[in-house]
């Protein structure tokens, strides 16, 4: 198991003069869990990664990745081969580089290739294919469907939504054992991502539950509390305890205070991150 995350957690924990016990208490986990993370024997859930990033004052990217100028390969997705015809080659290349967290393996005037998970995705430039115009064929608004699968669909759904690279549906269920969501690329092709749903960050309608203050996806253990200790699904326990917000701040202060956590999803563009946070936070109960 890759231990980049464990090394980073230990590094930042020690920089912040925290013992494993102290960090575990702040995250509401056992000391053994922290030890396993640092030894590379287990991986923390996404909400714990977000919480540690906030605690250490770093981006989640700094915890997840070694230092590099290149995007990191996403080891969660698994894929079968696919062939796609694109209307805008450059947009398509940029879209899949962000989705797959890797550069195009081959670039040619007519095609680009991504060698991913021992398979090849070939993007073909429709303008250079004589006589081809798939918009005239059939009534569908896309030609092909890419099908990926992951171990944790909720974590992947959260990751893809925050990439902000295309229209993303909520997680759907077609039968008791099949969960999926759809993402559209710049040409309208559908990317279907399937996987397991095995935590409690969802309500009875299969919707992800987000904190209405900071937008973090929550499990039941992360619910905040009303006065008297009753749990509330509206806010996480980092934002709301005993009926009171843990910080008093304006909307603008909240936006500015969260920019560093959103930079990795906005190509490290501070203005883009600020704009995206404002869009998301303006829909939340606390800031309406």
**CATH code of the domain containing 83:** 3.10.180.10
Tens-digit pLDDT string for the chain (288 aa):
446 788 888 888 888 878 888 898 889 888 888 888 887 777 888 788 888 888 888 777 777 765 544 444 455 667 644 768 788 899 999 999 999 899 998 888 888 888 877 777 888 788 886 665 555 544 444 567 677 888 778 778 877 887 888 889 988 887 667 788 989 888 777 888 888 775 444 544 556 688 899 887 777 778 899 998 899 989 988 889 999 998 888 999 989 888 877 776 666 778 888 888 888 888 899 998
Query: How many angstroms separate the Cα of 53 from the Cα of each of 69, 104, 160?
Result: 20, 30, 19
Domain of residue 226: give its range: 220-287
3-class DSSP assignment, residue 107? strand
Whether residue 204 lies inside any domain: the answer is no
d(CA 86, CA 144): 11
Burial status of residue 273 (CB atoms within 10 A of its CB: 0-12, 13-18, 19 or more) = buried
Q: How far is CA 22 from CA 19, 34, 266, 286, in A?
A: 5, 10, 32, 30
- Residue 12 burial (CB count, 10 A): 19
User: For residue 97, is it within any domain?
Assistant: yes
pLDDT score of 74: 53
Same domain, 229 and 182: no
On whether both 111 and 146 belong to a single domain, the answer is yes
- Entry pTM: 0.39
Task: Return left, alpha or beta for 238; rule: phi > 0 is left, psi -120 to 50 is alpha, else beta.
Answer: alpha
Whether 153 is in a domain gets the answer: yes
Residue 119 belongs to a domain: yes
| SS3 state at 135 | helix
Residue 101's nearest CA partner among 76, 118, 131 is 76
Q: Which two tokens stand for residue 270?
A: 């501070």
Residues 124 and 225 in one domain: no
Strands of the sheet with 106-107, listed across from one edge: 82-86, 119-125, 111-116, 106-107
Length of the chain equals 288
pLDDT at residue 139 in the model? 42
Q: Which helix (H) or strand (E) holds 285?
A: none
230 and 134 within one domain: no
Query: Are residues 139 and 57 part of one domain?
Result: no
Same domain flag for 189 and 228: no
Q: Are residues 246 and 141 in the same domain?
A: no
What pLDDT is attached to residue 83?
67
CA separation for the pair 170, 203 (Å, rounded): 12
Q: How far apart are CA 40 and CA 62, in angstroms?
A: 16
Answer whether residue 209 is part of any domain. Answer: no
Q: Please tell me whether residues 150 and 110 are part of one structural domain.
A: yes
User: Which residues lie across from 120 on neighbouring strands?
Assistant: 115
Single out the residue of 235, 239, 281, 238 nearest to residue 262, CA to CA.
281
Q: Are 201 and 228 in contact (CB under 8 A)?
A: no
224/172 same-domain check: no
Bridging pattern class, strands 145-152 and 106-107: unpaired
Task: State the Cα–Cα distance between residues 247 and 254, nearest whole angstrom.
Answer: 9
Amino acid 75: pLDDT: 52
**Cα–Cα distance between 74 and 208 in angstroms, integer?**
22
Among candidates 164, 158, 227, 166, which has minimal Cα distance to 191?
Answer: 166
Q: How many domains does the chain have?
A: 3
Angle value at C-alpha 254, between 251 and 257, nearest 5 degrees:
150
State the pLDDT at residue 80.
45
Tell me, yes or no, whether 86 and 188 share the same domain: yes
- Establish if 44 belongs to a structural domain: yes
């Amino acid at each position: 198991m890759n231990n980049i995350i464990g090394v980073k957690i230990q590094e930042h924990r020690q920089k912040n003069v925290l013992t494993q016990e102290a960090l575990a208490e702040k995250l509401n986990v056992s000391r053994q869990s922290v030890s396993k993370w640092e030894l590379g024997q287990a991986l923390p859930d996404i909400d714990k990664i977000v919480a540690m990033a906030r605690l250490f004052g770093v981006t989640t990217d700094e915890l997840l990745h070694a230092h590099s100028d290149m995007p990191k390969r996403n080891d969660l997705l698994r894929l079968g081969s696919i062939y796609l015809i694109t209307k805008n080659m450059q947009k398509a290349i940029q879209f899949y580089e962000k989705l797959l967290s890797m550069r195009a393996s081959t670039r040619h005037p007519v095609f680009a290739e991504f060698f991913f998970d021992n398979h090849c995705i070939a993007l073909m430039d429709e303008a250079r294919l004589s006589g081809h115009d798939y918009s005239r064929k059939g009534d569908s608004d896309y030609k092909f469907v890419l099908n990926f699968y992951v171990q944790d669909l909720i974590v992947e759904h959260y990751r893809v939504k925050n990439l902000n690279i295309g229209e993303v549906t909520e997680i759907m269920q077609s039968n008791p054992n099949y969960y999926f969501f759809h993402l559209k690329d710049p040409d309208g092709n559908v990317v279907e991502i399937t996987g397991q749903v095995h935590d409690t960050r969802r309500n009875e309608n299969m919707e992800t539950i987000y904190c209405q203050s900071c937008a973090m996806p929550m499990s039941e253990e992360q619910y905040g509390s009303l006065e008297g200790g009753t749990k509330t699904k509206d806010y996480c326990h980092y934002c709301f305890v005993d009926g009171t917000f843990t910080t008093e701040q304006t909307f603008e202060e909240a936006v500015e205070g969260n920019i560093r956590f959103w930079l990795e999803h906005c190509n490290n563009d501070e203005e883009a991150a600020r704009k995206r946070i404002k869009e998301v936070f303006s829909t939340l109960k606390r800031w309406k």
